[in-house]
Structure 1
């Protein structure tokens, strides 16, 4: 299982999300921050050069994970525990309805 993900906003690399022993961290990409077109991925995560940290998965990212019957189907298909929010996020949020996309690090490295 990967513990890092690339976060894209409208197909631009916006930052990276990491699961670690202390919880989670999210940091915006330096190039993204310098772009005149950069926008925060969420109002709860304003643009800044310093990492955000949290003991639990940030509410914004947790909110991208499907709920109900779709979550049940996905969990069974990929055999992911419903409590593993990070694994659910990187598995199920590669093609979201909104502007934000989440890709595991190794997948982005292979395709990018």
Structure 2
């Protein structure tokens, strides 16, 4: 089981979540990354393949809430708020950022879609 972070800071301007750990690990995780890798059943599926979430490049967060002593819940500004990021999940997302992000970009390209938000005029 992963240690609880020492500090978690939401940087709204840069749309990142900064997570620092007692062992010195420090991650600046883009909110887009956390949104597309949400641990929610909606994204992770109900035992099936992970859903490809697109058009989230500009996603932000309205707030972060503690869930007991074991997790946080991010309230994204696109209305998504069902993912519970346990300390294990959050640490794994930080430790595996490079591989996960490369995989996400590959899946976006294969699907012929985009990270860009759709804007209506």
Same fold flag (TM > 0.5): no
Which structure would you say has the larger RCO, counting Cα contacts within 8 Å and 6 or more residues apart? 1
* TM-score normalized by the length of structure 2: 0.30
| TM-score w.r.t. length of structure 1 | 0.32
